[in-house]
Amino acid sequence: MIGGYYEKILDIDLSTKSIKEINLEEEVLRKFLGGRGLGAWYLWKRVRRGEDALGPGNVICLMTGPLTGLPLGRTALVSKNPLTNGIAHSTAGGNFHQELKFAGYDGLLITGKAEKPVYVLINDDEVEIKDASALWGLSTHETIEKLKKIHNDPLLRSICIGPAGEHMIRYACVVTEYWCVYGRSGLGAVFGSKNLKAIAVRGRKGFPIKDKSKLKEALNIWMSFLQKQAATVRSIRARFEEPYLVTLFGKIGQQGVKNNQEAYSPEAWRLGSFQHDLRHWVRHWSCFGCPIHDKQIGVVRYGPYAGTMVVGPGYEPTSALGPLCDLFDAEALMYFVDLADEYGFDAVGLGRVIAFAMELYQRGILTRDDLDGIDLRWGDPKGMKEIIEKIVKREGIGDILAEGVKRASEKIGKNASRYAIHIKGQEIIGRDLRSDPEAALGEATANRGADHLQGTTREEQFSAALVDSLCLCFYHAVFRRCYEHVNLYSKILNLITGWRTSPDELMKVGERVWNLERCFNVREGLTRADDTLPYRLFYEEVPSGPTKGSKIDREEFERWLDRYYEERGWDKQTGIPTSEKLRELGLEEVDEEISQIRVKFSKK
Ligand code: SF4
């Protein structure tokens, strides 16, 4: 037995109701580790080219990592992305991941489509597909609570979708307990397309390791590392520090306001940490076993939104549902962040879509009639609430906006695409990138579409893929500086698994996963032309504030892309990984398929 793994995953077909176990090979585990990497491998093997992301042929890969179950783990969801048609991946903490590992599984593959709404129930070795008609239509937190009641088990842990996922809103997310979300990539829509409401798990087998002394040693090393990290992470995150970024970016001219028509916001402090700290903070909360304990629970205590309770809110939902929509009312913001979670929306996607619709209304591209009578003025909570209700039910204009800004702009026409702020079809977070070209390049080249978490350099991007494959929390690794801790990861991994994996080999795993994801995108038709930025970032200067006059120089951007591909061993013309690179990474099987695409390009 390899420590850290049960060496098996579940293979569930919702169409045929079949449930099987697949044994994992050590060679595959060493190559991809788990989480995002193992998910990408199964996605590559299982999903045929051109498969509809919202069709039964798409696969949901839910994977743990070798360290999941220790006080540091998460799970990763990987699938085909309904926004970009490329790869989708997202990780979440909370307290679901350890339960899946303790039930004796390293992950799940879910394919097909159930005839009626269902959920998957895993109770150690008992795995069932259950009728979810009593859950369909419920909000995410209602679903999680109801599942506990149905099974009379307060320790049953679940991930689920809300009404947004049920209606296949392309930017729907998957939610787990206490506001932890698999936010980006439209994974909630993929669940909805399969009539899959939830996955509920109860595990009692514990963490898989034979030599308990090694486990103790690994935990001692890890905990003393986390104690040191805690001060840094807490200084960033604790006591609503994260929304401080809204204040900071607003001041320095890097906060998108009114769908990035502006980037300077002296008003942003109204949503900043100090306001939350003073008015909303109740207590801290933590994912399973994490000593950093940095999640902040806040409650709105007075006014029309009194009683609203959320964790955070983090920078991303704050900036998207706040300044992007010109909303600077902290209590209204808390309400919309909570609503997004309850309905199961990715708050970034939702905020960006509302801001896009507001700008089209401002410019007369969408009229009040087009908006089904909604007066969608900047910063007006009433209009925001009304448009969210339309979107979540796919009613009228809501049906178009449910498709995300890229597809909606194509349907609306009238030059609306100039105001659609996305990369590869996935909406960009609220930050304004025009004065930070390095970050813009990172977002443009990320495999899942617009993505502020992957960094730009080789070290940053490969170590981000590594951290997600080990299923570690980004905050433990202090964001993009994960590569500084690879020695530590290899030490812990070797103690747990019994392997002798060097830090260099681990970084190779990150590079392999990054290349495999790129190849998945290439097979789906994405190329260099998709590694680009929205019109506004190239052609409209920031109009005021400290970054006034900034925009991304298009020609220079193309030169950066050349260098980016060269550094990774990819072809400059197409952005396709070379045969040498794929073979160096042990991806021969992938190279065979990609070589046919290279031939097509060379004939063009
Ligand atoms: S650092 Fe925060 S987000 Fe990460 S595992 Fe700990 S409590 Fe969860």
User: Measuring from atom 1 of ligand 1, which residue has the nearest CA?
Assistant: 475
- Please report the DSSP string for 580-591 in residue order: HHHHHTT-HHHH
Instruction: Tell me the domain boundaries of the chain.
Output: 8-202, 239-427, 485-603
Distance CA 311, CA 340 (A): 13
What does the alpha-carbon distance between residue 206 and residue 212 come to, in Å, rounded to a whole number?
12
With b for 16 or more beta-carbon neighbours within 10 A and e for fewer, the 272-304 pattern comes to bbebbbebbbeebebbbebebebbbbbebeeee
Distance from residue 309's CA to the centre of ligand 1 (Å): 19
Ligand 1 atom nearest the C-alpha of 72 is 5
> Identity (one letter) of the amino acid at 571?
D
The ligand 1 atom at the shortest distance from the C-alpha of residue 476 is 1
CA of 111 to the centre of ligand 1 (A): 30
Q: What is the CATH number of domain 485-603?
A: 1.10.599.10
Domain 239-427 is in which class? mainly alpha
The rounded Å distance from CA 93 to ligand 1 centre is: 7
Residue linked to tokens 């190559």: 31
The protein residue with its alpha carbon nearest to ligand 1, atom 7, reads 286
The ipTM assigned to this model is 0.99
Provide the pairing of β-strand 118-123 with 196-202.
parallel
CA 207 to centroid of ligand 1, rounded, Å: 20
Rounded Cα–Cα distance for residues 58 and 442 (Å)? 27
Distance 122 CA to ligand 1 centre (A): 25
Tell me which residues have their CB closer than 6 angstroms to ligand 1. 93, 233, 286-287, 290, 292-295, 473, 475-476
Pocket test for ligand 1, best of 91, 226, 476 (most atoms within 8 A of CB): 476
- From the CA of 237, give the closest atom in ligand 1: 2
Which one, of 423, 430, 428, 429, lies nearest residue 255 by Cα? 430
The pLDDT of residue 255 is 96
Pair 237, 230: CB distance under 8 Å: no
Instruction: Compute the distance from residue 210 Cα to the ligand 1 centre, in Å.
Output: 27
540-549 pLDDT, tens digit per residue, is 999 999 999 9
**Which residue has a Cα nearest atom 2 of ligand 1?**
294
Burial class of residue 217 (count of CB atoms within 10 Å of its CB; 0-12, 13-18, 19+): middle
Of 533, 44, 552, 547, whose CA–CA distance to 254 is shortest? 547
| Of 180, 237, 473, best ligand 1 pocket probe by most atoms within 8 Å of the beta carbon | 473
Q: Which atom of ligand 1 lies closest to the CA of 285?
A: 7
Q: Calculate the CA 594 to chain-centre distance.
A: 26
**Nearest C-alpha to atom 6 of ligand 1 is from which residue?**
290
Ligand 1 midpoint to CA 286 (Å): 6
How far apart are the CA of 582 and the centre of ligand 1, in A? 34
Question: Could you tell me the distance, in angstroms and rounded to a whole number, from the CA of residue 90 to the centre of ligand 1?
Answer: 15
Pair 374, 152: CB distance under 8 Å: no
Instruction: Report which protein residue has its CA nearest ligand 1's atom 8.
Output: 287
Domains 239-427 and 485-603 share a fold: no
Residue carrying the six token digits 């073979």: 583
**Can you tell me the distance from the alpha carbon of 319 to that of 475, in angstroms, rounded to the nearest whole number?**
19
Task: State residue 105 phi and psi, 5-degree precision.
Answer: -130, 140
Are 201 and 144 contacting, i.e. CB atoms less than 8 angstroms apart? no
- CA of 537: how far to CAs of 185, 202, 370, 425, 566, in Å? 22, 47, 27, 15, 24
Structure tokens at 270: 């109204």
68, amino acid identity? T
pLDDT value at position 278?
76
- What is the arrangement of strands in the sheet containing 281-285, beginning at the earlier edge strand? 281-285, 295-299, 309-311
The owner of tokens 């200084």 is: 235
Instruction: Tell me the best of 475, 476, 482 to mutate to test the pocket of ligand 1, counting ligand atoms within 8 Å of each CB and taking the most.
Output: 475
Cβ neighbors of 497 (< 8 A, separation 6 or more) are: 2, 3, 4, 5, 66
Hey, which CATH number is domain 8-202, 3.40.50.10490, 3.40.109.10, 1.10.150.120, 3.60.9.10?
3.60.9.10
**In what helix (H) or strand (E) does residue 198 lie, and over which residues does it extend?**
strand 196-202
- E-strand ranges in 426-555 read 426-427
User: Tell me: the pLDDT tens digits for 414-425?
Assistant: 999 999 999 999
Spell out a b/e string for 353-388, using b for 16 or more CB atoms within 10 Å of the CB, else e.
bbbbbbbbbbeebbeeebbeebebebbbbebbebbb
- Best probe residue, ligand 1, of 68, 70, 292, 468 (max atoms within 8 Å of C-beta): 292
What's the CA-to-centroid distance between 573 and ligand 1, angstroms? Answer: 41
CA-to-CA distance for 468 and 474, rounded, in angstroms?
8
CA of 353 to the centre of ligand 1 (A): 29
Please say whether the beta carbons of 232 and 478 come within 8 A: yes
- Listed as ranges, residues in the chain with pLDDT below 70 are 178, 231-243, 477-481, 604
Amino acid at 554: R
Instruction: Please report the atom of ligand 1 found closest to the CA of residue 286.
Output: 7
Q: Residue 240: its pLDDT value, please?
A: 46
